């Protein structure tokens, strides 16, 4: 297993196709797989949230979900880092589910968003087995939701909610869910549904995906990106100068 320690976390540093092969291999074992997708904003968020920090560290797989972490890795470790975004990994899991006849359950977002996201997946992959879906507004009905999920027997649970809400749900109810893999995807369902557009690959590779997102949701994201991006740059430079 190719891991790399960076900025306080141990990342799974595998190219995406190798990572999917590793996940497929892990399906043979009884232990539940929990995948956290981590970008710069989540690193900063975790520094001020002990629960989130510990949850990420205990995850089975932690992917590098952002070019800013790749750039930081080049500066701090001189090693090649493989970016695996949550969205790209989700798409690969769709393909894996088709090949291995694995069922999926989608959880999160608003009702109209998750419904459209599932519709889009079925349109793209007509033979995919989606056992069910539910929006993210199920609080006070968690036990009924878990019973429903377990009754439908999906192997993969995709969760698209904000942090640390999605992590708190998994921490509290993960052991009660009879699924093999749980992947935490944040806002990926918004893109999957078509509500938001994903940045062109050129902007992604340049580390400017955040700017594309900001252009789509300026009111919601301006202050968040201003603070998290500046804090992340400061953190990286501080660590670089310390070991230079």
**What pLDDT score does 180 carry?**
97
pLDDT interval class at 222 (50, 70, 90): low
Q: Which of 243, 229, 204, 210 is nearest to 75 (CA)?
A: 243
pLDDT interval class at 204 (50, 70, 90): confident
Res. 225: pLDDT tops 80: no
Q: Return d(Cα 161, Cα 187) in angstroms, integer.
A: 6
Res. 47: pLDDT tops 70: yes
pLDDT interval class at 229 (50, 70, 90): confident
Q: Which residue has the tokens 């992604």?
A: 204
Q: Which of 216, 221, 218, 142 is nearest to 177 (CA)?
A: 142
- What does the pLDDT look like over 147-193, one tens digit per residue? 999 999 999 999 999 999 999 999 999 999 999 999 999 999 999 99
The total number of residues written for the chain in this structure: 244
Q: Return d(Cα 123, Cα 68) in angstroms, integer.
A: 33
- Quote the mean pLDDT of the chain: 92
pTM: 0.94
Q: What is the largest CA-CA distance in the chain?
A: 55
Q: Mean pLDDT check: name the lowest of 120-129, 148-157, 169-178, 212-221.
A: 212-221
Q: Return d(Cα 181, Cα 158) in angstroms, integer.
A: 8
Checking DSSP bridges between strand 9-12 and strand 33-38, what pairing results, if any?
unpaired
Res. 244: pLDDT tops 70: no
Q: How many CB atoms lie within 10 A of CB 20?
A: 17
């Amino acid at each position: 297993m190719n891991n790399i320690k960076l900025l306080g976390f141990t990342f799974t540093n595998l190219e995406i196709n190798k990572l999917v092969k590793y996940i497929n291999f892990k399906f043979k074992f009884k232990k539940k797989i929990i995948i956290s997708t981590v970008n710069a904003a989540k690193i900063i968020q975790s520094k001020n949230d002990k629960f989130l920090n510990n949850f990420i560290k205990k995850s089975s797989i932690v992917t590098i979900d952002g070019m800013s972490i790749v750039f930081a890795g080049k500066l701090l470790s001189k090693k090649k880092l493989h970016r695996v975004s949550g969205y790209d990994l989700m798409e690969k899991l769709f393909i894996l589910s088709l090949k291995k006849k694995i069922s999926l359950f989608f959880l999160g977002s608003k009702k109209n968003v998750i419904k459209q996201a599932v519709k889009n997946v079925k349109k793209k992959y007509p033979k995919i087995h989606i056992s069910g879906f539910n929006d993210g507004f199920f609080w006070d009905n968690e036990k009924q939701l878990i019973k429903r999920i377990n009754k439908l027997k999906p192997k993969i649970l995709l969760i698209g909610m904000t942090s640390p809400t999605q992590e708190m749900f998994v921490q509290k109810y993960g052991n009660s869910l009879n699924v093999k893999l749980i992947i935490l995807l944040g806002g990926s369902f918004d893109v999957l549904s078509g509500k938001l557009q994903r940045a062109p690959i050129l902007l992604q590779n340049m580390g400017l995906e955040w700017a594309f997102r900001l252009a789509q949701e300026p009111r919601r994201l301006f202050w968040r990106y201003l603070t998290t991006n500046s804090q992340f740059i400061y953190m990286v430079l501080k660590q670089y100068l310390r070991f230079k």
